[in-house]
Amino acid sequence: MSEVVIIGAGFIGMSFALAAHQQGFGVEVYDKAAAPVLPKAATSQVIAVNPVSAEFLAEIGVWGLIPDRFVAKYQRMSVFDGQGTGSISFTAEEGGLTCLGYIVDQVALRVAMSECAIVQGLEVKWTETADIDELQRDLLVAADGAHSATREKLGLKKVGYSYGQNATVCVAEFSPELSPELSPERDRQAYQWFSDSGPLALLPLNDRGKFAVVWSSSQDLVSISETAFILALEASTEGKLGGVQGVSLRHSFPLMQQQAWRYVTEGAVLLGDAAHAIHPLAGQGANLGFADASCLVTELSAARLEGRGIGDLGVLTRYEQKRKTESRLAALAMEGFHQTFTSDSSIVGLFRSRGLRLVNENKILKRLAISVASGQL
Ligand SMILES: Cc1cc2nc3c(=O)[nH]c(=O)nc-3n(C[C@H](O)[C@H](O)[C@H](O)COP(=O)(O)OP(=O)(O)OC[C@H]3O[C@@H](n4cnc5c(N)ncnc54)[C@H](O)[C@@H]3O)c2cc1C
């Protein structure tokens, strides 16, 4: 019998599995998908990892295993209101940081986690599902994503809704040569436009002129022709990165907001997207999940020192209390951004551009924005 059974070896289930295994807990991990395989080049599926999450991934031995070509450090973030009237730009230096975060290829990160498990002798049962009624364990961890069947089986209720939008992702290639009107810092910046068709993020890849595109929109940006997509991309990016030379295959993901009422029950706990899924516009979903994983391991280790059972509801409630506030605040903030930046109202538009300018010009507000974006708050 294993002490901890984890359903789901995504980023969050795996990071928790590694951290718990390193703390000496007996861990068993199941994932219905096959083990990830390293892609040849960076894919369009990336995540922005904040410095706090990167430190956690380093502590559990994963960070150093990600090949450099799949990680791009970014030093500056520029946000535009898409009307050419308001913008904010913040740098790592202004926040006293060495970088604002990292853009990491999702598959390369999963491969690094899987290799780390092999090195540390933690077996992951790929392409296997588990019958949770049959498994003997002290604690069951549901890390099987936003559509978690384990959460349903445990009877933990959720609330949520669809945004009626999809996030379209691809890699866009801008000219590798910088013309004099473009910033020499172009390739070390992350960009966000709140364009008429929805929030558009351009995240630098470790390959000159290449950016991962994450475009949240109610329009179908996958079926339109490549030429139409490139024209729309050039129009929305206002020429700030230069002309688009080409784009990769586009994929799309439906967007939703979802929160479980309770993250815990006696002997079981929800982790990552199984507990909370938020709009990706600020790139915070996985970062919240890494913080869940780190917090849960800390609470289980404390319980062991106190001589308490790791499935004890009192112990698990401590994890829930610590994590719920942060994930609910993040969900509220994403909702606020979404409403403010998708509103057609001219009054909201005026406040939006004034608001961006105000934060840009006020050092204290700016430092606060940097702290939130880099996971320090
Ligand atoms: C377009 C987009 C962009 C994003 N960008 C960012 C970003 O920049 N930064 C950020 O922090 N977050 C971002 N996110 C959010 C982030 O992707 C998620 O928060 C994160 O992937 C959640 O990880 P997870 O491990 O909880 O769930 P998942 O990644 O969904 O993993 C769940 C795992 O469980 C397995 N599984 C499912 N059912 C079962 C079962 N019955 N038995 C066994 N295994 C099962 C699956 O195979 C999978 O491996 C983005 C999301 C989207 C949609």
The residue type of 171 is V
| pLDDT tens figures, 307-366 | 999 999 999 999 999 999 988 888 777 776 666 666 555 555 555 566 666 666 666 666
**Domain-terminating residue out of 254, 277, 305:** 254
| CATH code, 114 | 3.50.50.60
* Residues 143, 131 share a domain: yes
| Span from the CA of 153 to the centroid of ligand 1 (angstroms) | 19
Does 216 reside within a domain? yes
Query: Residue 254: CA atoms inside 13 Å, Cβ hemisphere, count?
Result: 9
- Report, as an integer, the average pLDDT of 98-120: 96
CA distance from start to end of the chain:
39
| pLDDT tens figures, 130-155 | 998 888 899 999 999 999 999 999 99
* Residues 169, 155 share a domain: no
* Residues 155, 172 share a domain: no
| CATH code, 206 | 3.30.9.10
Domain count of the chain?
Answer: 2
Q: φ, ψ for residue 23 (rounded to 5)?
A: -85, 5
* Residues 263, 244 share a domain: no
Does 86 reside within a domain? no
* Residues 114, 52 share a domain: yes
By most ligand atoms within 8 Å of CB, the mutation choice from 53, 144, 276 for ligand 1 is 144
Token pair recorded at residue 63: 């960070």
pLDDT for residue 339: 66
- Report, as an integer, the average pLDDT of 117-141: 94
| Span from the CA of 87 to the centroid of ligand 1 (angstroms) | 31
* Residues 348, 205 share a domain: no
Token pair recorded at residue 340: 């403010």
- Report, as an integer, the average pLDDT of 164-175: 94
Residue with tokens 């996958």: 222
Does 364 reside within a domain? yes
- Report, as an integer, the average pLDDT of 250-278: 96
Distance CA(190)–CA(212), nearest Å, equals 10
- Report, as an integer, the average pLDDT of 72-96: 83
Residues whose beta carbon lies within 6 Å of some atom of ligand 1: 7-13, 30-33, 47-48, 129, 143-145, 149, 167, 169, 214, 253, 272-273, 280, 283-287, 289
Does 80 reside within a domain? no
Distance CA(197)–CA(244), nearest Å, equals 18
| pLDDT tens figures, 18-44 | 999 999 999 999 999 999 999 888 788
pLDDT for residue 115: 97
Does 91 reside within a domain? no
* Residues 155, 25 share a domain: yes
Does 18 reside within a domain? yes
**With 0-12 CB in 10 A as exposed, 13-18 as middle and 19+ as buried, what is 184?**
exposed
pLDDT for residue 195: 72
Ligand 1 atom 9 nearest Cα: 283
Alpha-carbon distances, residue 366 vs 43, 67, 89, 274, 335 (angstroms): 32, 33, 9, 32, 20
pLDDT for residue 87: 80
pLDDT for residue 85: 66
Does 294 reside within a domain? yes
Does 119 reside within a domain? yes
pLDDT for residue 279: 85
* Residues 353, 276 share a domain: yes
pLDDT for residue 330: 80
24-38, 233-247, 292-306: segment of lowest average pLDDT: 233-247
Alpha-carbon distances, residue 345 vs 340, 342, 351 (angstroms): 9, 9, 10
* Residues 294, 221 share a domain: no
Residues contacting 206, CB < 8 A, separation 6+: 42, 68, 69, 70, 71, 72
Token pair recorded at residue 228: 């139409």
Domain boundaries, position 126: 4-73+107-161+257-373
| Span from the CA of 169 to the centroid of ligand 1 (angstroms) | 15
DSSP letter assigned to residue 273? G
Confidence check: pLDDT of 74 > 90:
yes
Instruction: Quote the strand ranges of 175-294, DSSP E.
Output: 189-195, 198-204, 210-217, 244-247, 251-260, 264-265, 268-270, 276-277
- Report, as an integer, the average pLDDT of 175-180: 82
Angle at 187 between CA 185 and CA 192, to 5 degrees: 95
**Domain-terminating residue out of 219, 254, 289:** 254
- Report, as an integer, the average pLDDT of 71-76: 94
| Span from the CA of 146 to the centroid of ligand 1 (angstroms) | 7
**Domain-terminating residue out of 235, 254, 273:** 254
